[in-house]
Amino acid sequence: MKEGEPSGIIVERFRTGDDILERLNALVRGNNVSAGSFSAIGAVEKATVGIFVGEGQYSEIEIEGPLEILSCVGNVSLKDGLPFVHSHITLANTKGRAYGGHLMQGCIVGATFEVSLLRYDDIELGRKLDPQTKLYLLDT
């Protein structure tokens, strides 16, 4: 277990055409955020989500839009010494059908993506390879 207090907030709006995961990683690296959590809302033109299937592998699902982001949440930690974003996303199509999973590259912003990022400067969050799942999990 790690314990700390938020030390600040960063609010950012991503633009149409941005890849959400690429921009999130750039945001945390550009602001030297090594520990934090975030939530976001918005819309995407298309999405790629991943479902963990074991042995460190994800099955990727591509979803054509337009899609509404019902929820996008995640955390920031250090992986191999660099800030790393781990996020899940839930989306709905124009008929209200929901899709979700691990946020992957290929989630492209539609109208907007509005993120609120809490940073935690007084704790250190790292990831290490878990031999059982073959995933880089929080080292707490």
Q: Would you say residue 140 has pLDDT above 90?
A: no
At residue 97's C-alpha, the angle toward residues 91 and 100, to 5°, is 35
| CATH architecture entry for 8-120 | 2-Layer Sandwich (3.30)
Q: Would you say residue 60 has pLDDT above 90?
A: yes
Residue with tokens 């955020």: 33
Q: What is the pLDDT of residue 4?
A: 86
Question: CA-to-CA distance for 14 and 114, rounded, in angstroms?
Answer: 7
More confident residue, 1 or 137: 137
Please give the model's pTM, rounded to 2 decimal places. 0.94
Please name the residues in contact with 30: beta carbons below 8 A apart, sequence gap of 6 or more: none
Give the whole-number percent of the chain exceeding pLDDT 70: 100
pLDDT (tens digit per residue) in 1-15: 888 899 999 999 999
Give the whole-number percent of the chain exceeding pLDDT 90: 96
